[in-house]
Structure 1
């Protein structure tokens, strides 16, 4: 009798333990599935991190808001034209044009002598514009190096100019407080060991030499320019690189071991099966997503919760200097709106500039930089270190919120309704306490509507530029909104 009771008690304890364990597993797996999907494909060279990178260096990147991209190289000499004909592609791709002999292009380095280049002036223009980081092309697809690389003679030291352009830029921008990132094209049209695909043993032998060359150049840059914050990779879409996932994985880790805190986007690596940006399980490979080139996500859901940046041109397409800008030229107000939209969706906006062969910028670029800078001087608190606001998007513009405060929201306004009333629909249980213009602190009237909605009423005088309204908020008591109609 005692033994049976003992067995029964043991069974009950076992059942309770098993049930508790099952419940914990269920709760854990349910919570996990809501935030992170389960991996289904075993990978050696997939993503090595779940979720965002949250160290100090990445948090600094996340708060930049506005960046500058610079595409500069031998292609600026041609400016998209050769032998009286215009190349319809992006100017920096002109070497791939079948009407331009490779030998002619590869000899352009003998003419490269940007006598008017002044890195301090470039940095001053970027500083006035409000730029927080810059990405400069150290080597584009043509293989020409703007630094004196000891691994190839096809570099700046063998031009009439001779001086290290990258060092001048790194030093000048760092001096004014702008972080520097180095663009590096893996694809190299000048290197005889580059391959688009690996179809034979000889291809593999050559490409193994090329991979060693690539790693040597990148390690060289880290030794020469220790101030840099990261790399921006390009030219990694061909089969040769997609079949080199193990190498790109080890390269990524090697560079970060040499330079702790280094930031590298999603263009460098391929996984075991040749997937780029996102591995075969759908996880981001890189510290931020680099897929938003000349395009911006429509909604926050489109970002999938990843860090990201948008790289944008002023003309419709073309990064390096082109004598002719084809198509629509974006206005400074359009560019400011793109900046606001990116920040409102937790991204950075990076605007490209293509210097002339003499080292100066075209007047349109100078004017846009000045206009953006004038706007940023007044409104930068709605851009720097700001994040997405989970409120319903309205037609007048965009919301951002400072990452250091949870009781303040910025309204960056581009389209004012005829009524002058800006509709705001906060999330449940959030009350609008105060509204005022960021420029001048002018108080604005708030009208409470049915439900959670409000109108923020603007003054009668028309606004000639995009502007920012500051909202101060508070949580409602006991989940109930204040029923006052006017605040």
Structure 2
């Protein structure tokens, strides 16, 4: 050590540094070559047809549960969509607090935050040098994208961005040369991916306004992967029935591998906002004769009114029972869920809304160090069902078997008010939980998106067949809500379960009736 130190003194020190510098430079060159090779290998892996999750998909599946944040100029106009003409001065949060948003996400057990950076109106939540329709031109100039990104680092959760392809404000969007607007998007996405740290997901929307090939999705995908190969990228309405045709299929129909096709290629996951997949969801989808693995990411509103942007009026949130069952459904089978928890016009998430999200996380026992919890064993799935009556409709089918087919798109509808159905069970299978999703009549609200759901079933009973006799184990004397969860304090075994409607305002209808064995700790 003394000899080494003596060489670093005076002229000897200078002479000695040359070979050390050369070695350091060569190490950097070697490392750079390795990184480039690793990047291109990663890109090749991302692009290859595969029956297994790629790098981005593996990271996405591991995240599993995120918080969507709809906030922007629409928040201050009480609308869901706008056309890019709302004056920028309208954006004026009085107590803007992105730290509160992300802290809420952390406390609620979300693993990532998905921020609306630009909606269809074109208003940007960051200071973009490519437009004047952004926060920098508004009364409150805080760079919201930076504030949320910084808060994600602070609270130890990941950061994702939503970016609308459709832009109703930007002049280049209307140019006949579609590449001009693609370049605009690439410039803005470069700003997002170079100035705000690691971005784990890019959620693209609004693709219906142009032909799929006019959006430059391949250019967007390539750009994003240059910044982060593990960033998952997709476009809303990802999959279609026929290749090259905009003939959509709902996610609940995606029950066969290699049957449906990419509309937007390349993509890392499927989106159909706000549809819900079947419990028998499949993962292989086709493009140009090759098969690709694609998980599904669900989007739900915490709002009972299905509003994405918060309104000036206080609106109720969903019941915890419904949120819990939707969580289980949407995160099952290596799929993901982002739940929208929007700030209001003050720039804060309302306390009762934040508490609902946190309450759900506490009930589920969510932790960054543990896998996402599961619902239990569905002992009624695909079992024989007998309905007392079925509503006849030439355009739709409403059989009793719809209540246990694993789809929230299909439903049983009765022909009369006092109706019932029976599900055959295996008498050796134990159960201690029943969840019921009721179909409700819908009243649309003036904004064109929000809605009020009106129940039909007012009173009902649940019976089980044991020793040749029916025994009532639950009697409901009030409307069941959007999702009724019956947690039984003891386990039962039965050869059949019967659901009886004893009072209703109209012929009852159910999406799903699930008989579940929920093991403590699941």
* Bucket of the pairwise TM-score, normalised by the shorter protein: 0.5 to 0.7
Equivalent residue pairs, number: 347
Correspondences of 1:24-423 after superposition (within 5 Å): 48-51=47-50, 54-79=53-78, 91-93=79-81, 95-96=82-83, 103=85, 105=86, 107=87, 109-195=88-174, 203-205=175-177, 207-239=178-210, 241-244=211-214, 247-267=216-236, 273=244, 282-283=261-262, 285-291=266-272, 293-301=273-281, 306-313=294-301, 314-324=303-313, 329-377=317-365, 384=372, 393=381, 413=433, 415=435
Closer, same or farther in 2 for the Cα pair 1:306/1:255, shift >3 Å? Answer: closer
Contact 1:193 1:209 in 2 (8 A): yes
3-state SS of paired residue (2:271): strand
- CA drift of 1:231 comes to 0.6
Closer, same or farther in 2 for the Cα pair 1:323/1:162, shift >3 Å? Answer: closer
Say which structure, 1 or 2, has more relative contact order (CA 8 Å, 6+ apart): 1
Contact 2:160 2:199 in 1 (8 A): yes
- CA drift of 1:154 comes to 1.3
C-alpha distance in 1 between matches for 2:56 and 2:143: 27
Write the deviation string for residues 146-205 of structure 1: whole angstroms up to 9, x where unpaired: 00111111111121211211111011023212111100001111111213xxxxxxx423
Closer, same or farther in 2 for the Cα pair 1:369/1:420, shift >3 Å? Answer: farther
3-state SS of paired residue (2:276): coil
Contact 1:52 1:307 in 2 (8 A): no
Closer, same or farther in 2 for the Cα pair 1:65/1:263, shift >3 Å? Answer: closer
Correspondences of 1:429-468 after superposition (within 5 Å): 468=518
C-alpha distance in 2 between matches for 1:253 and 1:412: 49
C-alpha distance in 2 between matches for 1:414 and 1:183: 36
- CA drift of 1:265 comes to 1.9
Write the deviation string for residues 349-403 of structure 1: whole angstroms up to 9, x where unpaired: 221122112111234422311321221337999862879989873899999xxxx
Contact 1:143 1:191 in 2 (8 A): yes
Closer, same or farther in 2 for the Cα pair 1:259/1:445, shift >3 Å? Answer: same
C-alpha distance in 2 between matches for 1:62 and 1:119: 26
Normalised by the size of structure 1, how large is the TM-score? 0.61
C-alpha distance in 2 between matches for 1:134 and 1:119: 11
C-alpha distance in 1 between matches for 2:518 and 2:271: 29
Query: Which blocks of at least 5 consecutive residues in structure 2 are unaligned?
Result: 1-45, 250-257, 285-292, 384-402, 407-430, 437-461, 467-488, 496-515
3-state SS of paired residue (2:186): helix
Correspondences of 1:6-21 after superposition (within 5 Å): none
Contact 1:231 1:265 in 2 (8 A): yes
3-state SS of paired residue (1:174): helix
C-alpha distance in 1 between matches for 2:376 and 2:333: 5
3-state SS of paired residue (1:135): strand
C-alpha distance in 2 between matches for 1:387 and 1:335: 12
Closer, same or farther in 2 for the Cα pair 1:310/1:281, shift >3 Å? Answer: closer
3-state SS of paired residue (1:264): strand
Write the deviation string for residues 284-333 of structure 1: whole angstroms up to 9, x where unpaired: 74111112x2332233146667411110112343211223578x852121
> Which stretch shifts more, 176-185 or 367-376?
367-376
- CA drift of 1:233 comes to 0.5
* Deviant stretches of 4+, over 6 Å: 268-272, 276-281, 378-382, 385-392, 394-399, 416-421, 444-450
C-alpha distance in 1 between matches for 2:357 and 2:118: 25
- CA drift of 1:344 comes to 2.7
Give 1 or 2: higher strand fraction: 2
Pairwise CA RMSD: 4.2
Query: Which blocks of at least 5 consecutive residues in structure 1 are unaligned?
Result: 1-46, 80-90, 97-101, 196-202, 400-410, 422-443, 451-465, 473-487
Write the deviation string for residues 391-428 of structure 1: whole angstroms up to 9, x where unpaired: 873899999xxxxxxxxxxx99454977799xxxxxxx
Are 1:469 and 2:519 an aligned pair? yes
- CA drift of 1:52 comes to 5.2
C-alpha distance in 1 between matches for 2:171 and 2:307: 27
